[in-house]
């Protein structure tokens, strides 16, 4: 076989290979049908690592009581507040707050919510602390003449002598709620005195189990450990003006709504939520802490 005939016989194979390569090249330059980049169908889900917070439909709805914000007799809830603390700070029973505000769940209050802290029908301005006033006593020099407008009966009175003792001033006018017969709640020594803004009462030392006594007649409005910083706590309401608080007890011996008498044992001294055994004792007037030493009898 000659050389030229050999090339003629192999030419069809060469042409076939060339045609196949051209077809493959054309296939690579065409646009294929691609799969969707993301599935927006019903089966798509938000990744658990990046949840999307939903906005409630009533997000613009004002909080309960917002229309009373800033008014006397109302309180705006702050972060960390509980009904027990709000009641203590305003001189009220937390259960009354539930009733006055028609709260369905006393454990759920919202920051910014406005609560009534004065009983319905009571003038909140009148519920404020009443000042103690003295009867007006007129004074003038002994040699001064009586005013022209004085009555004939006054003019007939004998003139006071030079050495006469002036009559005592009229007693101060007191509110009925101020007539509380106070007693010390424990027999131990005072280890910390009242310091407004730091110590809201007096701290009395003692031994674990020492008796804690009611400082005056009253009713238990709270007995428990739900107020942070106070440990096992008893709160007594004595009238519309005064509350007392007894904190850090190791045992509570009374229940809410129970009536107690002055000197009755209501708890045992302890160290709950404190660095050592002690009784933290507060007297609050209209919810404001005052110095117990000004009301308790001298020892």
- Looking at the domain assignment, is residue 7 inside a domain? no
**CATH code where residue 104 lies:** 3.10.350.10
- Looking at the domain assignment, is residue 80 inside a domain? yes
> Are 231 and 270 a contacting pair, CB within 8 Å?
yes
Q: Which residue has the tokens 């009784």?
A: 279
- Looking at the domain assignment, is residue 57 inside a domain? no
User: How buried is 118 (Cβ within 10 angstroms: 0-12 exposed, 13-18 middle, 19+ buried)?
Assistant: buried
- Looking at the domain assignment, is residue 106 inside a domain? yes
Q: Round the CA-based radius of gyration of the chain to a whole number and report it.
A: 42
- Looking at the domain assignment, is residue 21 inside a domain? no
> Is pLDDT at 104 greater than 80 in this prediction?
yes
Q: Which residue has the tokens 């006018």?
A: 173
Q: What is the DSSP letter of 270?
A: B
Give the count of beta carbons closer than 10 Å to the beta carbon of residue 7.
10
Q: Which has more pLDDT, 54 or 215?
A: 215
> Are 246 and 269 a contacting pair, CB within 8 Å?
no
pLDDT tens digits for range 213-245: 999 999 999 999 999 999 999 999 999 999 999
**Last-in-domain residue among 93, 116, 139:** 116
**Last-in-domain residue among 97, 116, 135:** 116
Rounded average pLDDT over 188-198: 92
> Is pLDDT at 5 greater than 80 in this prediction?
no
Q: Which has more pLDDT, 268 or 2?
A: 268
- Looking at the domain assignment, is residue 169 inside a domain? no
Could you give the angle at the alpha carbon of 230 between the alpha carbons of 120 and 178, nearest 5°? Answer: 50
Structural domain count of the chain: 2
Mention every residue, 6+ apart, whose C-beta is less than 8 A from residue 231.
225, 247, 248, 249, 270, 271, 272, 273, 274
Least confident of 44-53, 105-114, 250-259: 44-53
Are 187 and 288 part of one and the same domain? yes
**CATH code where residue 211 lies:** 2.70.70.10
Residue of 120, 82, 27, 114 whose CA lies nearest to 230: 82
Give the count of beta carbons closer than 10 Å to the beta carbon of residue 116.
21
Mention every residue, 6+ apart, whose C-beta is less than 8 A from residue 26.
none
pLDDT tens digits for range 27-45: 444 444 443 333 333 333 3
Q: 3-class DSSP state for residue 9? A: helix
Q: CA 72, CA 253: separation in Å to the nearest integer? A: 36
Q: 3-class DSSP state for residue 72? A: coil
Are 272 and 191 part of one and the same domain? yes
| Domain housing 277 | 181-294
φ, ψ of residue 223 to 5 degrees: the values are -150, 105
Q: Is the pTM of this model over 0.75?
A: no
> Are 174 and 132 a contacting pair, CB within 8 Å?
yes
């Amino acid at each position: 076989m000659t050389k030229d005939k050999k090339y003629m016989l192999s030419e069809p194979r060469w042409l076939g290979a060339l045609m196949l390569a051209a077809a493959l090249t054309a296939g690579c330059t065409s646009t294929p049908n691609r799969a969707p980049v993301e599935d927006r169908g019903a089966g798509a889900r938000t990744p658990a690592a990046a949840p999307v917070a939903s906005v409630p439909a009533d997000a613009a709805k004002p909080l309960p009581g917002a229309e009373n914000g800033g008014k006397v007799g109302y309180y705006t809830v702050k972060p960390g507040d509980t009904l027990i603390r709000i009641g203590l700070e305003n001189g009220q029973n937390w259960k009354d707050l539930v009733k006055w505000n028609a709260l369905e769940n006393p454990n759920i209050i919202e920051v910014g919510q406005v609560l009534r802290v004065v009983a319905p029908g009571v003038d909140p301005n009148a519920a404020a602390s009443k000042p103690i006033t003295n009867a007006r006593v007129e004074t003038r020099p002994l040699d001064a003449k009586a005013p022209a407008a004085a009555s004939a009966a006054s003019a007939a009175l004998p003139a006071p002598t030079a050495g006469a003792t002036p009559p005592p001033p009229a007693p101060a006018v007191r509110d009925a709620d101020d007539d509380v017969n106070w007693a010390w709640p424990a027999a131990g020594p005072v280890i910390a005195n009242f310091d407004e803004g730091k110590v809201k009462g007096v701290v009395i030392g003692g031994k674990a189990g020492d008796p804690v006594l009611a400082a005056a007649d009253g009713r238990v409005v709270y007995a428990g450990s739900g107020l942070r910083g106070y440990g096992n706590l008893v709160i007594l309401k004595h009238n519309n003006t005064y509350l007392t608080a007894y904190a850090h007890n190791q045992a509570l011996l009374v229940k809410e709504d129970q009536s107690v008498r002055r000197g009755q044992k209501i708890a045992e001294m302890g160290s709950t939520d404190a660095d050592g055994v002690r009784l933290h004792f507060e007297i609050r007037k209209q919810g404001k802490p005052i110095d117990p030493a000004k009301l308790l009898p001298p020892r």
